[in-house]
A and B are shown apart, each in its own frame.
Chain A
Amino acid sequence: MLEIKNLKVSYNELNILKGIDLSLNKGESLAVIGETGAGKTTLSLSIMGLIEGHCTGEILFQGENLLSLPEDELRLLRGRRIAMVFQDVEAALHPLYTIRQQIIEAILVHGEKDRDFAAEHTRQLLARVGLDERRGDSYPHQLSGGEKQKALICIALANDPDVLILDEPTAALDALTKAEIINLLRKEAKERITLVITHDIDAAAKLAERIAVMYAGRILEMGPTEELLEQPMHPYTRGLLRSYPNMTTTKDLQGIPGRMSHRVEGCPFHTRCTQKIAVCGHDVPELQKKNSRYLACHRGGIIPLLEVKNISSNIDKVEILHSVDINLYEGETLALVGESGSGKTTLAKTIMGLFTAKQGEIFLEEKPVIQRKKEFFERVQMVFQNPGESISHRMNVYQAVKEPLDIHGSRASESEKQEKVKKVLDEVELTGDDEYLKKYPHHLSGGEAQRVAIARALVLDPKLIIADEPTSALDASIQAKILRLFLDLQEERGLALLLITHDIALARKVSDRMAVMLQGTIVEEGPTSEIVNNPLHPYTKCLIEVAPTMSREISEPLETNSREEDHETETDFQKGSSDSQQNCPFIRRCPHPLPRCFQDKPELKTCSVHRVACFRHTVHWPT
């Protein structure tokens, strides 16, 4: 049982660890992840008692405080009860001794007298880690990186320790070797307390049941591995996951803006955080337990920015939206996909207040939106489908970008406004010279006009941008640039994006979550990678089937079911909304409908990480 209580470590007055609390029981494993310089290695070295800095707090190993033990006693523990696989395989092995000699040394140091026993044990160890018997007589420089890593593991395991600390056990290894080492370590870690120190999220996930995210000497978030990776709660954790290349997520890589500093008042992450508030600057958030998770954030983790609850909307007595529910978190992209006419734009306009909702509620930052005042528009902005038309043809670039500032009646002087306009134009990668500012919309290319439209939306510093088919009028290369721009803005400002598109291939690259819309209802919702790789709703499957690929294969168009049915639903639709609510909106095109689908409308139900509205995937199937 290893328990760390309020551990603080400082080197030369600089605090590296600022109060770490951890507790690990036998058989448990914990991975500490974070950027370089977060204090991960310092944590491992201070458990080993190898730290040169000044330590306070307690490290309790089976009831004994390691920090107060004298060096002699500590030496008895080190390598025998608590062992470590050191970072940097090149430097950790002695170049003048053979591997076998170094392993035997580890055994003999702890009082073993019988050399033959030690040699035999070494042989067993080498076999256990899968290292050839003969390689034992090699010098470190004769071994490959993977073999050296295995040798180091042998040394650590030599005395069958209770606590195994692995510091970057897989860094600098190729993928196959890494997989081999991970397999080995996972076997060896059973029945021990394992602490994995790594920046490699994959290794952490595979080696540990729990993950702690460390930043500037503090733990920001801790929780069960799967849960934490699926749904990070701290913005820093999300940033780490977003910047980690892997085969699960499909979104383009994004980094975390800024640099880590150990000399920050308040929340250590607040200088880089996009959702900071005043309190983050001077108070340190406590690590608090929330269900199975621990989280240190004044805002309770990534905040839900926009919540649309049960919204229905009519246009001329035809119901376009049927109780739509969506959530959008800070700094997140939610792609709303679906064919034209499915109500995507209506939803966007309803959120913006251009249409009034018949029922339902909208919450912005957990406060209900009743009347849209200027404060609302300062937080939420929209980029329209056709950039050229959304800018008045009587306004030049400068006037167009300045318009929101004028409306908000900011007391800023004209020159301040001009500065702001130029800054925001620079942000969207347009020149702010006077000649350009005097151009009219019809002088601009499609891509430029869209950038101007985005600049207009950005000039008020919103937290959420609703982008309605922002690139449908642009060619692919310009589209790529515009989307890159959105992602960069998201990274820098924590901008949340509600991306409305019919292009699922595009949504796949830029969104964190995806909601599929059909005839005014959300039929499936979930993490983008899940929706794309494992669609549940037949409509989503169709959309993915026809999504752009680089091959000559074509997919068959969906045929509608029986003609009679077709006719019936057609008239239902014309009659209005009430009747078409009586069956599944996809019934006409569904390849394998159930009898129930003709009578009832499926509701959105949770199914693994998705939410799906399909009777075939309803968990509680009534008999």
Chain B
Amino acid sequence: MHINYWQETKNDFFGKLGLILITLIVVLAILAPLLTSYQPQAYTDTAFSPPSWQHLLGTNDVGQDIWTRLLYGARTSLIVGCGAAVLSILISVLAGCTAALFGGLYDRLMMRLVDAMIVIPPVIVVILVAAYLRPNTLLMIVLIAVFLWPGGARVIRAQTLSLKERMHVAAARTFGAGWLHLLVHHIIPDLGPVIVATMIRDARRAIFMEAGLSFLGISDPSVISWGKMMQHALRFSYLNVWKWWLLPPGFALSLLICAFTFLGFSLEKILNPRLRKGVSHAGD
């Protein structure tokens, strides 16, 4: 009856790969101070040094250790990714579920808002806003979430529309349950897998957007970010240092996004019964 999503994910190759990669990056980010002897902001006297035992991935124009900055940059990516995913899913669930439950004019207004939001190209608006605000990490999360929620809200509304016709929801209504009770006890538990899948997709997009915005140089300059590292490196492309400086953040970013993609891919397979063969159930 209950599909054991965790077990299913672990059994799937892509799921496993994605989980391992994400875990690896999270561990590296958390243990950053232990894995390097430098401070990310600290200047050393050697600039533009190629990889050596002293500087594993070399140094940049002002002599900062690239390996160290890569580790600390992972923190930014993960925080922004997860933060934006959590914030946007909250908005999605609230908007999607209430639209489906209440219906009527509220539903129509909400869905037209979602349509409108989806039509607006997020990057351009964020660039415009960010150019004025110079956002720090928190503001960045909020900005990204504001543009991520409409997609999720649509999926969740569709799912809720089908869930609210279930008999147990009708039964709860005959006990006199209000919409909040229905939402918390009947709709959201059954939305769980959809929510997880949407969050993973949102996290992936948030990480990519954060990197992109940093690359364009419109985020808070004090934040260490992979996007910003690439932006800096590009300025010194004539010095032929790009392979030591540009490749590591680019590679790390691709790896993290790939990890999320793999996980999302395997979850999709688990959630869609037609894509899978054997299924593990809870208690197996």
- Residues on A facing B (Cβ under 8 Å): 349, 352-354, 372-374, 376-378, 381-382, 384, 386, 389-395, 403-404, 406-408, 440, 442, 453, 456, 460
Contact = CB atoms under 8 A, between A and B. Distances in A.
B173 interface: yes
B176 A376 contact: yes
Contacts of B174: 352-354, 377, 381-382
B176 A456 contact: no
A395 B184 CA distance: 13
B1 interface: yes
Nearest to A373: B176
Nearest to B171: A390
Nearest to B192: A394
A394 B190 contact: yes
Contacts of A395: 185
B243 interface: no
A84 B175 CA distance: 59
B108 interface: no
A376 B174 CA distance: 9
Contacts of B176: 372-374, 376-378, 404, 407-408
Given A384-B170, A389-B166, A394 B175 contact: no
Contacts of A381: 174-175
Contact of A442 (B1, B171, B190): B1
A453 B171 CA distance: 9
B189 A394 contact: yes
Interface string B163-174: 000111011111
Nearest to B172: A403
A460 B170 contact: no
Nearest to B170: A354
User: Which label, helix, strand, loop or mixed, suits the secondary structure of the B interface?
Assistant: helix
A509 to B, nearest CB: 26
B185 A392 contact: yes
A390 B167 contact: yes
A393 B167 CA distance: 11
A407 B167 contact: no
Nearest to A460: B175
Nearest to A405: B175
Given A391-B168, A407-B175, 5 more contacts: A386-B167, A390-B171, A392-B168, A394-B2, A408-B175
B175 A377 contact: yes
B171 A391 contact: yes
A374 B174 CA distance: 9
Interface of B: 1-2, 166-168, 170-178, 181, 185-186, 189-190
A453 B168 CA distance: 10
Nearest to B282: A440
Given A376-B176, A394-B190, A456 B171 contact: yes
B73 to A, nearest CB: 40
Contacts of B190: 392, 394
B92 to A, nearest CB: 21
26 contacts: A353-B173, A353-B174, A354-B174, A373-B176, A376-B176, A378-B176, A381-B174, A381-B175, A384-B167, A384-B171, A389-B167, A389-B168, A390-B167, A391-B168, A392-B168, A392-B172, A392-B185, A392-B186, A393-B1, A403-B175, A404-B175, A404-B176, A407-B175, A407-B176, A407-B178, A408-B175
Contacts of A393: 1-2, 168
Contacts of A407: 172, 175-178, 181
B195 to A, nearest CB: 14
Contacts of B177: 403, 407
A126 B48 CA distance: 138
Contacts of B181: 406-407
A527 B175 CA distance: 31
Nearest to B190: A394
A359 B30 CA distance: 65
A236 to B, nearest CB: 32
A393 B169 CA distance: 11
Nearest to B177: A407
B105 to A, nearest CB: 17
Contacts of B178: 407
Nearest to B176: A377
B104 to A, nearest CB: 13
Question: Which of B170, B175, B185 has the most CB atoms of chain A within a 10 A radius of its CB?
Answer: B175
A442 B3 CA distance: 13
B281 to A, nearest CB: 10
B173 to A, nearest CB: 6
B170 A440 contact: no
Closest A-B pairs by Cβ, 7 of them: A377-B176, A389-B167, A392-B168, A404-B175, A442-B1, A390-B171, A374-B176
B37 to A, nearest CB: 50
A564 to B, nearest CB: 39
A150 B166 CA distance: 69
A391 B169 CA distance: 8
A404 B171 CA distance: 10
A235 B186 CA distance: 41
Contacts of B168: 389-393
A403 to B, nearest CB: 6
Contacts of B173: 352-354
A392 B189 contact: yes
Contacts of B167: 384, 386, 389-390
A440 B1 contact: yes
Contacts of A374: 176
Nearest to A378: B176
A390 B2 contact: no
Contacts of B185: 392, 395, 403
Contacts of B186: 392
Contacts of A404: 175-176
Nearest to A399: B185
A392 B178 CA distance: 16
Contacts of A456: 171, 175
A373 B175 CA distance: 10
Contacts of B175: 377, 381, 403-404, 407-408, 456, 460
B213 to A, nearest CB: 40
Contacts of B171: 382, 384, 390-391, 453, 456
B284 to A, nearest CB: 14
A327 B229 CA distance: 78
A571 to B, nearest CB: 30
A353 B171 CA distance: 11
A377 B170 CA distance: 13
Contact of B170 (A376, A390, A408, A453): A390
A373 B186 CA distance: 20
A442 B171 CA distance: 17
Nearest to A354: B170
A407 B178 CA distance: 8
A404 B177 CA distance: 8
Contacts of A453: 171
Nearest to A442: B1
B107 to A, nearest CB: 17
A442 B168 CA distance: 14
Contacts of B170: 349, 354, 384, 390
Contacts of B2: 393-394, 440
A460 B171 CA distance: 14
